Amino acid sequence: MVDLTIQLLYQSEELTLAEGFQHIENVRKFATYLFPDKEKTFNLIYRPRMLRVLRERGILNFSQN
């Protein structure tokens, strides 16, 4: 699911910041559904990877989190 979302973030031509954040939130919800009490792990490992995609695409400024 994470890899699929990362590809979606890279390939969606008209992706907005709000849509990018929504995709990340959807993955977080799904991951915590499958692995309760692992939200901290998600935020440490996977969220930064997905935010990096938004930064690389110029959708997210470096000063934003």
Domain borders along the chain are: 2-56
Return the pLDDT at 61: 86
Q: List, for the chain, all residue ranges whose pLDDT scores fall below the cut of 50.
A: none
Query: How many of the other CB atoms lie within 10 Å of CB of 32?
Result: 14
Residue 62's pLDDT is what?
A: 67
Instruction: State the pLDDT at residue 65.
Output: 55
Q: What confidence tens digit (pLDDT) does each residue in 36-50 have?
A: 999 999 999 999 999
CB contact at 8 A, 47 and 28: yes
Alpha-carbon span 7 to 48, nearest angstrom: 15
Task: Check if the beta carbon of residue 9 is closer than 8 Å to that of residue 53.
Answer: yes
The reported pLDDT for the residue numbered 14 is: 95
Whole-prediction pTM value?
Answer: 0.87
